[in-house]
Chains A and B, each alone.
Chain A
Amino acid sequence: MKRHPQLWLLAAIILAAVLSASARPAGVNPYYLGVAVDVGINVILAVSLNLINGHTGQFSLGHAGFMAVGAYVASSITLGLAARFGGPALTPLLFAGSLLAGGLAAALAGLAVGVPSLRLRGDYLAIVTLGFGEIIRVILQTTDAVGAASGLKGIPKFTSFGWAWALAALTVYVVACLVNSTYGRGFIAVHDDEVAARSMGINTTRYKVTAFVIGAFFAGLAGGLYAHHKQFISPGGFDFNKSIEIVVMVILGGMGRTAGVIAAAIVLTLLPEVLRPVAEYRMILYALLILGLMLARPQGLFTWERRTGAKPGPQPT
């Protein structure tokens, strides 16, 4: 398993595809399938943000902006080509293509945001990424070609449980493989101590920008999945609150702990669904639960996972 993580990825993708293909015939409630897709998308978002905020230690508050870029680019492509492509045989190809294009466009945006991160740190970086996210949103809101404030409607429903979970597996694979390699330990070194990292020959500039680009790419993929799941997107759905939601997942999961972040993404996606029966008090309870969690388990929900070999030990005296 340690030697061939690729096989695990392959197995996960096949499993997702098989489950997805058999779910509808087996009569699984579509509502549950929809929630499962949400879970997959949020796992992608949280794990990719974890690369930036957790592993690399940059504080980004603009993840929803990258998601928006991916969502808009991907759905514009499918909306433009769906009529011409027609055939169901080509649908997966078209979808994969538009997702990829969305991811790449978001990665480009990530490059643009990553560059200021070279000069700024901490709260200043947070506010600049927040600003980028808001700028993206305002631009979308005023661009008639993508429906301005009313957004894009009638996006074909291409996203299935299989797509969401396969791409979630890919995201986890990429981030986990990166930070568990001699190359990728540089990300953690940048997080821990930039000065020391530089003096150990780590090109911190390059690592930070790389983290932003990869993180943004996967956020873009998630955006594409989201658009083809909800079939409707509007700029308001990618605002500051969405970014905060993802940040909360990363922090609750315990910054830089992949397994914890996945678990937090799942829990925080399911929580509002579970709370549906209490309707009008749902979000109040949600807020109270987050507060309770922070008071009870401030180190993150899932702290038993060891981070790249290190386990908690006594502090030097």
Chain B
Amino acid sequence: MLVGVDFEPGTQGGPFPHWLNKRANPLPRSCPGDGWKVFVPHSSASARIVKVALCILPDTVAAHVLEVCDLSIQPHRAGICRRCWPSGPLDPLTVTEFLQQIVNGLALGAIYALIALGYTMVYGVLRFINFAHSDLFMLGAYAGALIAPRLGTLLPLGGVANALVTLVLAMAICALLGVLIEILAYRPLRDRPRLVVLITAIGISMLIEQVAQNGRLGFGPEVRRFPALIPDVTWHLGGVTLGSTSVIVFGVTAVLLALLTWTVKCTRVGMAMRAVAFNEKAAALMGVNVNRIISFTFAVGSALAAAGGILFALNFGKIDPLMGVQPGLKAFVAAVLGGIGNLPGACLGGIVLGVVESVVGGNPRLTSYRDAVAFAVLILILLLKPEGLLGHRTKEKV
């Protein structure tokens, strides 16, 4: 048996190991242990097709898969019954498979980069890790999921325009939430030790996750379908498949990055941001309204996280209250990898992480190690370059 499964049979499928696309044709594989046959769908990483595969699973089989792979731990992870995968030497990826993984990795990396930017910007001005950031990512996706269906009836716009309005609205909502969190939780602690702020951030993150998981106060713990905001189209370039979601991910990320770069480099508020990041006190003395700049930084970071959340949900077709945890952790890793506090570094770190993860995960025998490999790469790079890829070395003055 070889299957991508959600933790509940019949619900939306999870991100599918991309290499499955390549092993093409409906491929009956039998599991020696239980004798069930599961059809692995043909082509396209699209989650909607995975759902078809899942729907033909009787409950008992799904339970067995759950047993073997314990997917309950990471609901939005695709699982493979490793016992059933023929053991043997590693299958090297073919050139097309490799290229496919690069494309997939770039899409994933772009999302990581969007989230990582928020981490790195907040770190730049306040020097602490904003743990609540990954929850804004989640809230962004939920905002999208709640807005999109209503929008269709309200505004007689086309699909793409609707998707854009959804994106912008979700970003605005999260920007507002980010600023609110900063003002209510972090601002009163501005002069306290960094660790206090860190724990507060962890507390905020816990609070958001718990409220979101609560059925009465929030969204409830169940996995939900994310509406398909754009028509699902796939193009084939040589052997490489390119889905419309990937194209949207690239496009939106590129536009947002360009906007951010322009804001930081060419506007007064961007200059003030850089000044605050460099030296808060000096910036204040030069007449910069530090509080306003910090709020602005949170707004921008949170808006980017929301965009990342929507793109992520679009890519994988489903959302849940804890969907931010893993991507958030990865994005944080990406930010440190690139040199924390450094904007281009965060983008580079995100892309590197996404590509490495995809290429490693693309190998069927290594796919369950993909998370470990991401961290191993991080450790290796930091040991060779302790200040991160693009970070500056600060030698302590004696």
Contact = CB atoms under 8 A, between A and B. Distances in A.
Chain B binds chain A: yes
B189 A195 contact: no
A134 B83 contact: no
Nearest to A286: B206
Contact of B188 (A124, A247, A295): A295
A294 B196 contact: yes
A245 B187 CA distance: 24
A138 B372 contact: yes
Contacts of B193: 298
Contact of A127 (B73, B378, B387): B378
B398 A280 contact: no
B382 interface: yes
Contacts of B73: 149, 234-236
Given A127-B332, A294-B200, A283 B210 contact: yes
Interface in B361-398: 368-369, 371-372, 375-376, 378-379, 382-383, 386-388, 396, 398
B377 to A, nearest CB: 9
A244 B195 contact: no
A256 to B, nearest CB: 11
A131 B375 contact: yes
A141 B207 CA distance: 28
Interface residues of A toward B: which range? Answer: 35 or more
Chain B at the A interface: SS class = helix
B382 A116 contact: yes
Contacts of A295: 188-189, 200
Contacts of A134: 329, 371-372, 375
Contacts of B180: none
Interface in B200-255: 200, 202-204, 206-207, 210-211, 214-217
Contact of A131 (B192, B196, B207, B379): B379
A310 to B, nearest CB: 17
A151 B333 CA distance: 27
A195 B379 contact: no
Interface string A242-254: 0010011001100
Interface of A: 116, 119-120, 123-124, 126-128, 130-132, 134-135, 138-139, 141-142, 144, 148-151, 195, 234-236, 240, 244, 247-248, 251-252, 255, 280-281, 283-284, 286-288, 290-291, 294-295, 298
**Which 7 A-B pairs give the minimum distances between C-beta atoms?**
A149-B70, A131-B375, A138-B372, A287-B206, A287-B207, A236-B73, A291-B203
26 contacts: A116-B379, A119-B383, A120-B382, A123-B340, A124-B386, A128-B378, A131-B376, A134-B329, A134-B375, A135-B376, A138-B369, A139-B369, A141-B70, A142-B369, A144-B83, A149-B73, A150-B70, A151-B70, A195-B396, A248-B199, A280-B216, A284-B211, A286-B210, A291-B185, A291-B200, A298-B192
